[in-house]
Structures are given as structure tokens and as C-alpha cells.
Amino acid sequence: MTKTPTDHQPTRSVLGIPVTSDGYLDLGPLQAKADEKKRERVEEQKKYFDNVRQKSLKKYSEDQELFGKALQRMKEDNEARRNNEIAKAKAEAVNRINEEVERKHGVKSDKTKQLDNAWRDTLKGLI
């Protein structure tokens, strides 16, 4: 059998893959398609991770804001307790000093006089 020359060179192989003029498989278009799919996957992953990162940053920011508010509240509570303790200590000190001065000098303060009168009126009502 003799081969008959053909002027027609096939452009596709049996599998549908393009071939070169020499009859070799032309992998260029396949590589381009594979590269494009890879770029698409990479882009999808990038979008996904950007979305996850944005959510994470938002949550971190909200947590930091909440933590800051909690710290501010603790600071305000501590300052209020401090001021209450100072006021209480001052009142106790003033009362001690007034009592000591009243005992030492035998002179009653207006507050003590009012308290004595209130007790006297209460006792009169009972008798």
C-alpha cells in the first residue's frame, strides 16, 4: 500500500486538541485556558480571604470599642468609690474633731443643740 499525499493537514487531534502544522499537539491554548482558570481561582480565593479579613477587622474593632467602654466604666466606678471614701473619711474626721472640741471646751455646736432638742421633743411625746 502506498500513502497518498494529502493537502489537508488536520487542525484537531482525535481528542479535540488543536495540533500544529507539524502534527504535534498545540498545548498553547490549553495552557492559556488552564492559566485563566487558575487566575480565576486565585481571584476567588483573594476575594474570599479579603472578605474574611474585613469581617475579622470589623469584629476586632467592635471588641476593642467594647473593651474600651468597659475600661472607662471601671475607671469611673473606681473614681466614684474613691470620692465616696474620701467624703466619708472627711465627714468622720470632722465629727471626731467636733466631738473632741465639744468635750474639751464644753461648748455644743449648733448641730448638737438641734439633735439634743430633737431627742428632748421625742422624749416629751413619750412621757
* Measured distance CA(62)–CA(85) in Å, rounded: 35
16: left (phi over 0), alpha (psi -120 to 50) or beta: left
Name the band, by pLDDT with cuts 50, 70 and 90, for residue 125.
confident
* Measured distance CA(50)–CA(117) in Å, rounded: 79
Q: Which amino acid is at 98?
A: N
Q: Is 18 helix (H, G, I), strand (E, B) or coil?
A: strand
* Measured distance CA(31)–CA(127) in Å, rounded: 114
pLDDT in tens, 21-75: 787 888 888 899 999 999 999 999 999 999 999 999 999 999 999 999 999 999 9
The residue to which cell 493537502 is assigned? 7
pTM to 2 decimal places: 0.49
Q: Find, among 36, 33, 14, 34, the residue nearest to 25 by Cα.
A: 14
For residue 10, give the DSSP letter.
Answer: P
